[in-house]
Structure formats: C-alpha cells, structure tokens
Structure 1
Amino acid sequence: MRYPVFLKLEDKLCVVVGAGRVAERRVRGLCDARARVRVVGVTATEGILKLADEGVIHLYQRAFEPSDLDGSALVIASTDHVDVNRAVQAAAKCRGILFCGADRHTDSDFIVPAVVRRGDLQVAISTGGNSPAYARLLRREIEAFWDDGQLLDLMADLRRRVYARFPNAPERRQAFWQQLVTDDTLALARKGKWAEIEERIEVCLSS
C-alpha cells in the first residue's frame, strides 16, 4: 500500500531520463506543475525538442551520467533499457532522491497516477502499478462524469463570501456547506443551471 500525496514542485529541479513518448508525457506533467525540468536522452521526440527550443525544459542529448541528478527533487527513469533505469535508480538512492522507474525491474519510490484535471480540481487514480490500463479506463469514466471545473471556481469564491457572512460562527459555516454541497447541486452544475445554484446559495445563506 502506498501513501497518496500531491507534491509541490514549483521551481524545483526534476530530472527525466529518456526522451521518448512515455518520457514526453512525464515531462509535460512536470511542466504543468511548474517544475524546472532537465531531460537526458540520446534520441528525443518532436514534442520534447520543441519544448527545449522554446526554453521550457533543458535537454541534454547524450547518455545518462549520475551527476545529472545533482540538486534534483525527484527523477523519473523512462527508457527502454533496464540497465540504464537501474543505473538511474542507484544514483538516486545514493543521493536520497525520490525515484520512479518506467519498468517492473526497478523498485520505484512513487508511481505516476492517471489524473483527471478540471482547473484546480485534480483526481489521481492508481492501481498500485498492477494495471495502468485499468487506471486509464477509470480516468475516462470520471472525465465523462465531471463538470469542467466551473463549480469548483464558484465554491472558491463562495468560501470567501461565507466566511464574511459568518466570521465567528464555524458551526454555521459547516452547516452551510453541508446544506449546499449535495448530489442535487452537482447535478445542476452538470446541466449548466447556474442560476438555480445561485438561488440555492441564497437560501442556504439565509436559512
């Protein structure tokens, strides 16, 4: 059993060893997290080359060297070569750096889950590495179910309104959220009935 956690990687150096299609997905995810990304790989995809040309990442088109990990917060080994992935793992272990390998021949410290993103809303899905395909299936199911994040944006704004309305009444604030955040409200959001949601908000604030 693994401990689920969301890492704050903004401005932290993260290294991806390998520059193929799988590596590109990992690189883009790290870029979305605003990490400083260093990619080491002999052959790179067009997408990775473009990111490097735009200055989004630092690309070193050569074989991996242990010193590539110096100063990094985490490393992802995403090559097709078991010996390279193991070398990356050994270098990470010596430096106390979190390691993730793309194959079953290396013991990863963490797993990159399938993720559903809707603005600031993120839902991570993991099968413990047993079936990435099943995790992707569940992700598609959740994506079809969820709204576009507009409800979360509304809740973020509403949180300030509720605190201003009940600054010294935590029990009242809790009761408000319990009354508003229901399956019915979520159903209205999926149908785009925002006016009805606003009516519900006013009722909950007044009751």
Structure 2
Amino acid sequence: MIPLMLDLTGRRVLIFGGGGVGARKAAHFEHEAEVTVISRSFSPRFDGLSVRRHETDLASLPDDAIVELLDGAFLAVAATPDPALNNRIGRLCASAGVLFNNAAGKPGDVIIPSVVRGRNYLIAISTGGKSPAVSRYLRMRLESEYADLDRMIDLQEEMRSILRETEPVQAERSRTLWKILLDDEIRELLALDYGRARELAITRYLHA
C-alpha cells in the first residue's frame, strides 16, 4: 500500500453499519466528505455528527440494491458486525470501482489510519490492521511529546521567510532552520512564550 493524503471535499462516502464502529468511521470523514450511513438502527454516538442516515436492513438487501446505493460513491466502509456481509459489500465495491475499507472481514484496498492533527500538520499512523493498540499508543506519544509542534512550524515558516531575504545560499538556509528545530532551549520557550522563542532564534542563528 502507498500512503496518500486525499482531499475528500464534495466526495461521497458510504458507511455500512450504524453501530459504534460505524460512528467512529463516520466521525473520521464527516468534517470533509458527504457521509451517508446505511443501517437499520443507529448508535447514539451518531448524534451530533453531520451525516445523512439511510435506514434499511442491509442483510436483506439484494446485490443490485447495494450496487444502486454505491452509485456515485468515492469510498465505502463496511462497519457491520457481520464479516460475511462486509465481504459481500467489498466484492460489490470492487465490481463498481468504489474504494473500500473493511472493519471486519477481508481487508479492502483502503486502510483508515490513526490520526494526529494540529493546526499546521497531519500525521497518519497505521500498523496495517495488525495492532490498533500500537497505532493508538504512537498517537498518544506524539500528542504528548510534541505538543509544541504547531508553534515550531509557525516559527520555521517565519524564519524561512526572513532567511529568503538575508541568506542567498539554500544549503545555509536549510542548515540554519535545522539548528533552530533541534535547539532544546527554543523548544522549551515555545511552550511558554512564542515571542521569546522567536527572539532567541533570531539572535542565536540569524544574527550570529
């Protein structure tokens, strides 16, 4: 598999299954895609999510009815507790050319990763389904140990802008930015006072 970041604005995503797993999958996509959840019942965890609900008994639907539901979809997620039903949905997605993620059953062609998100960055973590606990552990460690990452990205952007005006050699600009990134004192200051961290970076590395 190849990791990609996709813009799903305006794309149609189908979630088959209205339980807790389906709600978690829907929450992953609802801020960007047009999400429709298909199920005969819906967990309270869907309350507050910006998704459409399509109430039907999936187990009783014939193949042609599921294919009709898939029309126009970019991605489908099978999140029912029945692996056989999920696998059937996956086979229909393959024949319809719709990307597929399977929560329980044969793996599809899309993995939904654990995500670490800030104002300026997005990190996706996956173990290929082998250990969701490890993915969650890595996400928690990153969120804890790099709480200042957004501010560092802000600082790097500002320093890059200054260096473009003052340092003509690209290699030197890169070296300076790397030194700022690795400076523990600057990182400690970022957690407390962006202005003081900025002043130290300029004094120590741009006016040296």
Normalising by structure 1, what TM-score? Answer: 0.83
Contact 1:121 / 1:152 at 8 angstroms: preserved in 2? no
2:44 is the counterpart of 1:43: no
2:1 is the counterpart of 1:7: no
Pairing of 1:105-184 with structure 2 (within 5 A): 105-147=105-147, 149-152=149-152, 154-155=154-155, 157-158=157-158, 161-162=161-162, 165-166=165-166, 169-184=169-184
Where 1:181 maps in the other structure, the secondary structure is: helix
Shift of the alpha carbon at 1:154? 1.7
Shift of the alpha carbon at 1:111? 1.5
Pairing of 1:84-95 with structure 2 (within 5 A): 84-95=85-96
Number of residue equivalences: 200
Shift of the alpha carbon at 1:153? 5.2
Shift of the alpha carbon at 1:170? 2.9
> C-alpha separation between the residues in 2 aligned to 1:122 and 1:183?
23
Identity %: 24
2:70 is the counterpart of 1:69: yes
**Which consecutive residues of structure 1, in runs of 5 or more, have no partner in the other structure?**
none
**Which consecutive residues of structure 2, in runs of 5 or more, have no partner in the other structure?**
59-65
The amino acid across from 1:6 in the alignment is: M
Change (3 A) 1:28 1:149: farther
> C-alpha separation between the residues in 2 aligned to 1:185 and 1:15?
48
